[in-house]
């Protein structure tokens, strides 16, 4: 069984559209994350939730809105998509929100904005 | 703020060659250090970690030692295999909340 699963795997859309990426973890972890990986493989954290509460919100445009209906799910909604949003988005989870924690990553969603 | 610098890639080696991927960091306090690996088409997986100075993390033949005096955490493997071809990321643990700061990634290609 997949530990951290995200859908869709590929997302191709036009500029200006609104889209969502879903993430679910079946590991019983308390903490979930969204990371963005650009075309040069550089990874940067966007958000983190601990038990449905937002604990990290890096300088991300307001067009990006995470939602955590329960601690097993963290979805990412993006409004008014721009060309620069094209990237691979990774969901991850960890047992808890600590500095030594091992992160478990999903396989990524490749977003292409045309 | 925290930052991680990895050696530029891509790195191309023949099978059974020795591998070193350099990683240095800047941080306040005493962060944990990690190496993650990303195989083609997959998410990142933890390869190894070290939580304090002089700790050595090891897994699957890979090793890295937490060197506080040189602020480094270089990844090494004595004999690489084709299956080691992947992108390797050095990462720094945050002081709280599990926030990781990643290096830019190093692409490794191993030829038979």
Q: How far is CA B8 from the centre of its chain?
A: 13
* Span A86-108, average pLDDT: 90
pLDDT of residue B96: 61
CB contact under 8 A, B43 and A44: no
The rounded percent of chain A whose pLDDT value lies above 90 is 75
Dihedral angle computed from the Cα positions of residues B9, A92, A29 and A64, in that order, rounded to the nearest 10 degrees: 140
CB contact under 8 A, B46 and A40: no
The rounded percent of chain B whose pLDDT value lies above 90 is 78
For residue range A53-71, list pLDDT tens digits in order. 888 888 789 999 999 999 9
* Span A16-31, average pLDDT: 96
pLDDT of residue A37: 92
Q: What gap in Å lies between CA B46 and CA B101, rounded to an integer?
A: 14
CB contact under 8 A, B104 and A56: no
Which of chain B's residues have a Cβ under 8 Å away from the Cβ of A107?
41-43
Q: Of B33, B31, B36, B3, nearest to B96 (Cα)? A: B31
Which of chain A's residues have a Cβ under 8 Å away from the Cβ of B41?
107
Which of chain A's residues have a Cβ under 8 Å away from the Cβ of B31?
99
The rounded percent of chain A whose pLDDT value lies above 70 is 98
* Span B33-61, average pLDDT: 94
Dihedral angle computed from the Cα positions of residues B11, B93, A57 and B3, in that order, rounded to the nearest 10 degrees: -50
- Token reading at A70: 């329960």
| HSE value, Cβ hemisphere, 13 Å, CA-based, for B22 | 7
For residue range B52-97, list pLDDT tens digits in order. 999 999 999 999 999 999 999 999 999 999 999 999 999 998 666 6
A64 versus B2: the higher-pLDDT residue is: A64
B7 versus A7: the higher-pLDDT residue is: A7
Q: What gap in Å lies between CA B97 and CA A89, rounded to an integer?
A: 20
Q: A-contacting residues of B 6-45, CB under 8 Å?
A: 31-32, 36, 38, 41-45
pLDDT of residue A59: 76
CB contact under 8 A, A45 and B100: yes
pLDDT of residue B67: 96
pLDDT of residue B97: 67
pLDDT of residue A34: 95
Instruction: Point out which residues pair with A1 in neighbouring strands.
Output: none
- Give Cβ neighbours of residue B49 (< 8 Å, ≥ 6 apart): A100, A102, B32, B33, B34, B35, B57
B11-14 vs B106-111, strand pairing mode: parallel
CB contact under 8 A, A99 and B32: yes
pLDDT of residue B95: 62
Q: Of B93, B20, B21, B89, nearest to B51 (Cα)? A: B93
Q: Of A53, A94, A56, nearest to A70 (Cα)? A: A53
Does the structure show a pLDDT above 70 at A20? yes
* Span A82-109, average pLDDT: 91
Dihedral angle computed from the Cα positions of residues A41, B102, B3 and A59, in that order, rounded to the nearest 10 degrees: 80
- Confidence label for A15 from pLDDT (cuts 50, 70 and 90): very high
How distant is the Cα of A56 from the closest Cα of chain B, in angstroms?
8
Question: Dihedrals φ, ψ of B14, to 5°?
Answer: -90, 155
Q: What gap in Å lies between CA B69 and CA B24, rounded to an integer?
A: 11
B104 touches chain A (CB under 8 A): yes
């Amino acid at each position: 069984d997949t530990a951290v699963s995200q859908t869709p795997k590929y997302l191709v859309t036009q500029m200006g559209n609104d889209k969502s990426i879903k993430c679910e973890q079946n590991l019983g972890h308390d903490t979930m994350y969204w990371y963005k990986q650009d075309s040069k493989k550089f990874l940067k954290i966007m958000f983190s939730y601990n038990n449905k509460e937002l604990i990290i919100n890096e300088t991300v445009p307001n067009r990006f809105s995470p939602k955590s209906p329960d601690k097993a799910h963290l979805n990412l909604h993006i409004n008014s998509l721009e060309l620069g949003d094209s990237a691979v988005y990774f969901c991850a989870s960890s047992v808890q929100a600590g500095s030594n924690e091992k992160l478990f990553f999903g396989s990524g969603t490749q977003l292409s904005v045309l | 703020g925290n930052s991680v610098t990895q050696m530029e890639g891509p790195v191309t080696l023949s099978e059974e060659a020795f591998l070193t991927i350099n990683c240095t960091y800047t941080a306040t306090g005493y962060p944990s250090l990690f190496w993650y690996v990303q195989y083609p088409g997959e998410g990142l997986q933890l390869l190894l970690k070290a939580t304090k100075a002089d700790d050595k993390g090891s897994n699957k033949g890979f090793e890295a030692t937490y060197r506080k005096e040189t602020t480094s955490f270089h990844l090494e493997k004595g004999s690489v295999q084709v299956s080691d071809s992947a992108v390797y990321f050095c990462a720094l643990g945050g002081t709280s909340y599990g926030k990781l700061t990643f290096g830019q990634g190093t692409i490794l290609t191993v030829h038979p």
